[in-house]
Amino acid sequence: MDWFIRVVKGMVISLGFILPGVSGGVLAAILGIYERMLRFLAHLTRDFKGNFLYFLPVGIGGVLGLVLLSRPLEYLLDHWQVVVLWGFAGAILGTLPSLLRESVAKSRRDAVDVIWLAGTFVGALVVLYLLPALAGTVPASFLGFVLAGALIALGVLVPGLSPSNLLLILGLFSPMLQGFRDRDLLGTFLPIALGAVAALLAFSRLMERLIERHHSRVYHFIIGLVLASTVLIVVPTQSAEAIDYTGAGAGTAVGAVVAFAAGLTLGLWTAMLENKHKTVTPGE
């Protein structure tokens, strides 16, 4: 039963890979496995066999979640893009109170934190807005999906960071969903897995140290990045997957407002759950 529960946890965490506004790291924290996962990745040689066997069903559940959930999400984006993206934006904003609380969990907010947050927001907004125009859409190639895998891994390592926001801006989100839907092992799953593993091994120990030594600065950086990526979800850009308001009428506007409110409620609820369960012993 415990093995099956960890498979289900993996499926839930996979939502953070494919739902814009949802962070795999936040979901892992809610499910009580984030701290153990971060320690395992940062110190692989410590009880490798025990940790590997513990997280194996989580990984299996993650793959199952990607395969089973990608098709309905792709359908929703194809038919109700504006409504769905506004719902995602609401879900992101709903997590902000939790991030703000966490940012001052170990020290009081100071002027440097505020400057760090504002600078990150403005810098990320400018860079991410101009990126599609300057670099064009990232090709949905092997290397493009390696990049997608690295961003997904960062979404697991950094609670509150939703990689799907960035994948939407870079034009990799829909091709990734299509690859998951078609069970494209070599063209989609393999490069994403390679990029994710490389990023996890490269940044897990760094993330552990940054959170320990610069907790407040790290979380204010995250908040700035989250705010910038949220704005760009609902603002038309040069990205191939940017929101398109062409033909949107009153019905779409009402649907977007309702979806935003529902997403905001969902985000606040998940943030509340994270705050409630973050003191649970990892692995419980």
- The secondary structure of 162-185, three-state, reads CHHHHHHHHCCHHHHHHHHHCCCH
Give the per-residue pLDDT at 121: 92
Say how many CA atoms lie within 13 Å of 104 toward its Cβ: 12
Domain boundaries, the chain: 2-277
Instruction: Collect all residues with Cβ–Cβ distance below 8 Å to 181 and sequence separation of at least 6.
Output: 67, 70, 71, 74
Give the per-residue pLDDT at 126: 87
- Asked if 105 contacts 152 with a C-beta cutoff of 8 angstroms, the reply is no
Quote the CA–CA distance of 58 and 254 in Å, as a whole number.
Answer: 38
Give the per-residue pLDDT at 8: 85
Q: What is the rounded average pLDDT of the residues 42-52?
A: 87
* Residue 32 phi, psi (nearest 5): 80, 20
Q: What is the rounded average pLDDT of the residues 18-31?
A: 69
The radius of gyration computed from the CA coordinates of the chain, to the nearest angstrom, equals 18
- For the ranges 31-40, 166-175, 179-188, the maximum mean pLDDT occurs at 179-188
Give the per-residue pLDDT at 279: 46
Quote the CA–CA distance of 165 and 180 in Å, as a whole number.
Answer: 18
Higher pLDDT, 9 or 15: 9
Threshold 0.75, pTM exceeds? no
Quote the CA–CA distance of 86 and 91 in Å, as a whole number.
Answer: 9
Q: What is the rounded average pLDDT of the residues 99-127?
A: 89
Higher pLDDT, 159 or 66: 66
Average model confidence (pLDDT) for the chain?
82
* Buried b or exposed e, range 86-106, using 16+ CB within 10 angstroms: bbbbbbbbbbbebbeebbeee
Give the per-residue pLDDT at 282: 39
Question: What does the block give as tokens for 78?
Answer: 């194809």
* DSSP states of 26-73: HHHHHTT-HHHHHHHHH-TTTTHHHHHHHHHHHHHHHHHHHHHHHHHH
93 band by pLDDT with thresholds 50, 70 and 90: confident
User: Which tens digit of pLDDT belongs to each residue from 191-211?
Assistant: 999 999 999 888 888 888 887
Amino acid at 188: T
Give the per-residue pLDDT at 281: 39
Does position 131 have pLDDT exceeding 50, yes or no?
yes
